[in-house]
Chains A and B, each alone.
Chain A
Amino acid sequence: MARRCVMADGQAASQTILVVGGGMSGLTAAVEAAEVGRDVILVEKRPYLGGRVAQLNKYFPKLCTPACGLEINYQRVRNNPRITVLTLTEVQEIQGSEGDYTVRLRENPRFVNEKCTACGECAKACDAEVDDEFNFGLSKVKAVGNGHNMAYPNRYAMSPEFAKTPEAEKLVAVCPVGAIEPKMEAKESTLHISSIIWATGWTPYDASKIRPYGYGRIPNVTTNMRIERMANKFGPSGGKIVRDDGKEIKNVAFIQCAGSRDHNYLPFCSRICCLASMKQTTYVREQFPDAKITIYYIDLRAMDRYEAFQKKIEADQGIRWIKSKPARIDADLESRSPIVIGEDTLTGVRYADKYDLVVLATGMEPNIAASPVPASGMTYDAYGFLANATTGIVGTGCATGPQDVSGSVQASTAAALKAIQSAAKARG
């Protein structure tokens, strides 16, 4: 714990701000509040910070790597003694009101203690593998590891299932610094907090729910987030966009609004997926200079100030833009290639076009829908995002609605100010 962090020791009006969610939004809010002198506790449910941005290959519109923005924020966190980072931690309960909250936390066991130097000896000795959530199941990872190449904190964690096995015990002797603890247990703690910033972000919409598109059933139908991982050089295919049979890719389609703007799935526009697909055409173009690219869309939404980015992408003559939401995807069993079926709404032509790879541009489901804020009196909008109607508990980033990174960062700076104001009231 950082030095000024106030535990539940009877002290009344704490000035500490709690930030929940360690993605770009939570990181920003935490750093902004701490850099003007507030004590901050940053709580993240995963073993590492960074959120979804850590999984992206490049950022639109600049097409630079998200790694530097993340690294700068990690530095700011590392260098600021006012910030306490608690990973693998979730908020169990919030009681009280603005300026005076009592918060109960649960820190799940990491099975690797703070002595870990990330030397990797345990992973080398470990034979067990688990699905790699970070790479959306495109690969397997060792049951003990540090999530991904840029994980912060750079400290290993062990899968809870694996920790129960005798193999886990064997790793205790392997670790040169005695960091492996398969018997580690969850810890509960209670804090006094003046105000709370809720930044729990989003999850990609489960594409297998969109039955007519056959994700999971039809080969070579993939998702935009999987493309981010494939295109990343530290990703599961070493930076190559690949088909499941390794055959050459000459013809790629993107299907917009896959599971968004649809009353059967997510009724709202996810706002970033048009831009994300435009960005991903540059990944395809880089790897396959002659590939044909098709984008199926209802209407293109280069939100806010991103129209210039769209113009830039439109300069690629190898992209076909088809105004149509495809009705379904069929499988061509012989070639293992998907066939996209629908009506071109500008010509009225019914098409059935075969592609080597089809990318579903899935949208954002708020994490809050599955795990709401454990406090009374919270309000949510019609789509399940947090509505900022409560003072004292402020939502930001994708917890409050679909956002790009710069929008999330701006909202989070604003949220930090609101939280500081609540804290000032508490001082009263």
Chain B
Amino acid sequence: MAYDLSFAKEVYKTSEVGYWIKMCMQCGVCAGSCPLGPHWEHSPRQLFQLVRAGKMEEVLKSDSMWMCTSCYNCIVRCPRGLPITHIVHGLARLAVEKGMADPKQPTRRFAVEVFWDNITSTGRVGEAGLTMKLYFIDGIGPGIQRGLEMKNQALGMLKTKRLNPIPFRSKIKGFAGFKAMLDKAFELEAKKESNA
């Protein structure tokens, strides 16, 4: 059977810093360095080898990219200097663009349905609002249940001033500038995509 390199080529060309995948020597240091190691479907090393082997479905449907906490342990240790965290985020994005990411993947839902709106609407994270929205993401019933499960943690965080209880927070100073920055980023991104 001939190799089908089209997916690998696409990743090298369009996915954020995807071309770095060529440099991986399959040593396994990234997998061993990742604090979430055993919980991933595929380690970064495996993802990269799957990309090279042209396994588009397996890569883009994997939940691995969504498990990354951006701790940067792997980047620090990779002997070949691959920007692993960024490559993995790039693959997550590619999965969304191609409509292959599981819409029910919890991290993805958190990012898209909760976090992004929360931070862009005011320029800062409103912890109470963020937590509430996350808890009630599946409706009232499950929300209340989750809230009760986590009650002690929430009270503990309040007591130690780790959680700001005000659910609706005002915009940051200079919100207009923040907004302009985001708009510019979108514009640049759109330009990049139309050139790609």
Binding site for B on A (CB under 8 A): 212, 257, 261-264, 298, 323-328, 341-345, 348, 350
Contacts and interface: CB of A to CB of B under 8 A. Distances in A.
A327 B31 contact: yes
B26 A345 contact: yes
A343 B79 CA distance: 15
22 contacts: A212-B77, A262-B79, A263-B80, A264-B79, A298-B25, A298-B26, A323-B28, A325-B28, A325-B79, A326-B29, A327-B28, A327-B31, A341-B32, A342-B28, A342-B29, A342-B31, A343-B31, A343-B45, A344-B28, A348-B46, A350-B37, A350-B43
Contacts of A341: 32
A341 B77 CA distance: 13
- B interface, by DSSP: helix, strand, loop or mixed? helix
B29 A350 contact: no
Contacts, number: 58
Contact of B32 (A262, A323, A326): A326
Given A262-B79, A350-B37, A325 B46 contact: no
Interface string B51-94: 00000000000000000000000001101110000000000000
A57 to B, nearest CB: 29
Given A212-B77, A350-B38, A325 B27 contact: yes
A325 B29 contact: yes
Nearest to B73: A327
Contacts of A324: 27-28, 32
B122 interface: no
A344 B27 CA distance: 9
Interface residues of B, number: 19
A212 B31 CA distance: 14
Contacts of B37: 343, 350
A324 B30 CA distance: 11
A325 B45 CA distance: 12
A156 to B, nearest CB: 44
Contacts of B76: 264
Contact of A348 (B25, B43, B80): B43
B77 A264 contact: yes
Contacts of A348: 43, 46
Contact of A263 (B26, B32, B79): B79
Given A328-B77, A345-B26, A350-B31, 19 more contacts: A212-B33, A261-B79, A262-B79, A263-B79, A263-B81, A298-B25, A324-B32, A325-B27, A325-B29, A327-B29, A328-B32, A342-B31, A342-B32, A343-B28, A343-B31, A343-B45, A345-B45, A348-B46, A350-B32
A262 B79 CA distance: 4
A18 B187 CA distance: 67
Contacts of B31: 327, 342-343, 350
A343 B81 contact: no
Contacts of A264: 76-77, 79
Nearest to A263: B81
B77 A343 contact: no
A348 B28 CA distance: 9
Contacts of B25: 261, 298
Nearest to B80: A263
Contacts of A326: 29, 32
B64 to A, nearest CB: 12
A137 to B, nearest CB: 27
Q: Which 4 A-B pairs have the closest CB atoms?
A: A327-B32, A343-B31, A342-B32, A262-B79
Contacts of B77: 212, 264, 327-328
A311 B44 CA distance: 33
Contacts of A298: 25-27
Contacts of B80: 263
A348 B32 CA distance: 10
